[in-house]
A and B are shown apart, each in its own frame.
Chain A
Amino acid sequence: MAKSVVLLDCWPSMFGMRVRIALAEKGIDYEYREEDLRNKSPLLLKMNPVHKKVPVLIHDNKPVCESLIAVRYIDAVWKNKFPLLPSDPYQRAQAEFWADFVDKKIFDSGRKVWASKGEDQEAGKKEFVECLKVLEGELGDKPYFGGEAFGFVDVALVPFYSWFYAYETCGKFSIEAECPKLIAWAKRCMEKESVAKSLPDQHKVYDFVLMLKQKFGLD
């Protein structure tokens, strides 16, 4: 590996996007390697033998797996530039709590929205919207979850924005109608170069979701 920082990733992965954003925020030069998850590279299997998943951050040949763990690692190692986590332990605990909430709630309920039908889908939509509303409540009138500055919770959540069009179209609902402040927050984040260049186009994600639905007989 020529560069000291390598990211094994997959373009539609919200988890990979988190790491891309963190690396961009810190201005870190790295090599991006796209993985084909139907044909995982020997490097991926070697670097993440436990889960065999992306993203994997490789720094000086040492792997860091799990997206939020990788983001925290990046924040600790490149600590002098644009801190993502607060320095105060209590504020940091709050940021970790909310990032954990995103991890536990948004992916699974979002998946039910695009991958299921009928009652299951309705239940998924309800849970998904409820969780987004809880997050919207936590955001309040702040510009970012981190307060005045973009931070850890923003990094954890904003990648899901690239999937919103897919969720809305599959689920036949409007996220903006349910959570207008959250959409305003997402658009504010998208004005940042680190976010805009790390998230794929929402329509491209939708096409990917349609392909998945067809492949797994979910349509």
Chain B
Amino acid sequence: MAEPVKLFGVWASPFSWRVETALKLKGVKYEFIEEDLTNKSDLLVKYNPVHKKIPVLLHKGKPICESLVILEYIDETWKGISILPEDPYERAIARFWAKFIDEKCNHALWTACWSKDNEQEKAIEEACEFLKTLETQLKGNKFFGGETIGFVDIVANFIGFWLGIIQEAVGLELLTVEKFPNLCKWIDNYVNCPVIKANLPPRDELLAYFKARQQPPTGPKY
């Protein structure tokens, strides 16, 4: 019998959510191991000694770390729905946008949500510039992947779901339909996409989670 696939994650984390979504898209059965990041398990530290972070995917007893690396591994290992395009150029473009969202957008959005006064003003300005770039990139397409969700859409989950909740928790209005109609339409398509909808963490619980924190979890990667 094949060794079970395990995923170390946190229910509220957009990063482990990406991996769960990819596994569900491929129809892979897995065991989710909830980590307490204030008291990391010996197993997490063993499987991710370099960063000691979630998510970690364990397949055939071997760990894979970093959500974007894990997504590509899942896409190559299991058949079924393709997460990345086949064509090398299209793949390069998908990777470019995933990296842009993961490294630039998410960081700016996170800072914009949790900082105060001058720092927040500056962060909001920067975040809006990045959102404008994405707004243009969408070009009225249903998803970043075209007609169906793909790699970039999965990686953009923070914007797709978490951002709206955090905005409500901290009382910030960044992503509005007036300023970003394409993105708002994309969010609507996204949260109503069957595999996404079935997999999202409960909105009320996530809202309570962010409202309860006086300080944000340490940085976007938590």
Taking Cβ atoms with an 8 Å cutoff, the residues of A that contact B are 50, 59, 62, 64-66, 69-70, 72-73, 76-77, 89-90, 92-94, 96-97, 100-101, 134
Contacts and interface: CB of A to CB of B under 8 A. Distances in A.
B114 to A, nearest CB: 21
7 contacts: A76-B91, A92-B76, A96-B66, A97-B64, A97-B69, A100-B66, A101-B50
A51 to B, nearest CB: 8
A64 B89 CA distance: 8
B209 interface: no
Contacts of B89: 59, 62, 64, 73
Contacts of A76: 88, 91
Contacts of A69: 92, 95-96, 99
Contacts of A93: 64, 69-70, 72-73
B92 A90 contact: no
B157 to A, nearest CB: 19
Contacts of A66: 95-96, 99
Given A66-B95, A97-B65, A101-B50, A89 B76 contact: yes
Contacts of B66: 96-97, 100
B62 interface: yes
B100 A50 contact: yes
Interface of A is mostly: helix
B53 to A, nearest CB: 12
Interface of B: 50, 59, 62, 64-66, 68-70, 72-73, 76-77, 88-89, 91-92, 95-96, 99-100, 133
Nearest to B94: A69
B143 to A, nearest CB: 19
B54 to A, nearest CB: 14
Contact of B62 (A70, A90, A96): A90
Contacts of B70: 93
Given A89-B76, A93-B64, A64 B100 contact: no
B96 A90 contact: no
A76 B73 CA distance: 16
Nearest to B60: A90
A70 B77 contact: no
B55 to A, nearest CB: 13
Contacts of A77: 88
Given A73-B92, A76-B88, A100-B69, 8 more contacts: A59-B89, A65-B96, A69-B99, A77-B88, A93-B69, A96-B66, A96-B69, A97-B65
B49 to A, nearest CB: 9
A62 B87 CA distance: 13
Nearest to B133: A50
B107 to A, nearest CB: 12
A168 B22 CA distance: 44
Contact of B77 (A62, A65, A89, A96): A89
Contacts of A73: 88-89, 91-92
Contacts of B100: 50
A62 B89 CA distance: 8
Contacts of B76: 89, 92
A81 B59 CA distance: 30
